[in-house]
Structure 1
């Protein structure tokens, strides 16, 4: 035992944000992962298909609530 704290892997998804308002969801993601950019996308927004490990997309519904689990990509 070296007394070194265990390494915690970076968070990759946020299931607890499903159904949350967009603004607090974005703030939580930025708090957890300040190294990624966060995009808020309304229904029907055009998307690019590539995976981006430095991005989290937050899909919202017409009421501004998170409609899908935000995930890195």
Structure 2
């Protein structure tokens, strides 16, 4: 969250964690537990960040594909 925050556009810890969980679901990150994640080098598709579309999908603009769909389960803020 700290490294992605820009002046006038803060990113909360909860938002960053949700994004990381989606990227883990899509295979871009490995969930190490305890809110820690590791990048999966084989999923390096380019310089543009994957996007969560309509909060229920992950879109990777580098390969122009949706890579994960559906509601996320296991969130502790619901």
TM range (shorter): under 0.3
Relative to its length, the structure with more strand (as a share) is 2
Larger Rg: 1
Report the TM-score, using the length of structure 2 for normalisation: 0.25
Report the TM-score, using the length of structure 1 for normalisation: 0.25
